[in-house]
Amino acid sequence: MQEPDADALADELIAAGFRFTRVPTAGSFLRESNVTFMLGVDDDRIGDLLTLVRRNSTTRMQIVSPLPAAQDPVEARLPFPIEVQVGGAAMFMFDLDRVEQL
């Protein structure tokens, strides 16, 4: 998720009793700060987690200006600033056969 939304989610995760690891990351297209949360969640708490993430991962529109060609040839193909939707969250879920806390 985008960094501006991460503090509110972290606060709600803590209040709801979730334990997590927070890792600063960066997106490749906008080159802005993101945050990746890693959680181990029992099946019966997944609905609670999804509710918190949905409530705290807002989408919004943002103007993106292309960089000069010398800095990034991919974005240089954009001849003028464009408006893109940013925000939200991507979640990856998978089952674990074993978890050990050391």
What does the pLDDT look like over 20-79, one tens digit per residue? 999 998 876 666 788 999 999 999 999 999 999 999 998 888 887 765 555 555 555 556
Q: What is the pLDDT of residue 22?
A: 96
Q: What is the pLDDT of residue 71?
A: 54
Residue ranges and CATH numbers for the domains of the chain are: 3-87 (3.30.70.120)
Q: Which of 25, 16, 31, 36 is nearest to 89 (CA)?
A: 36
Q: Is the pLDDT of residue 17 over 80?
A: yes
Q: What is the pTM of this model?
A: 0.75
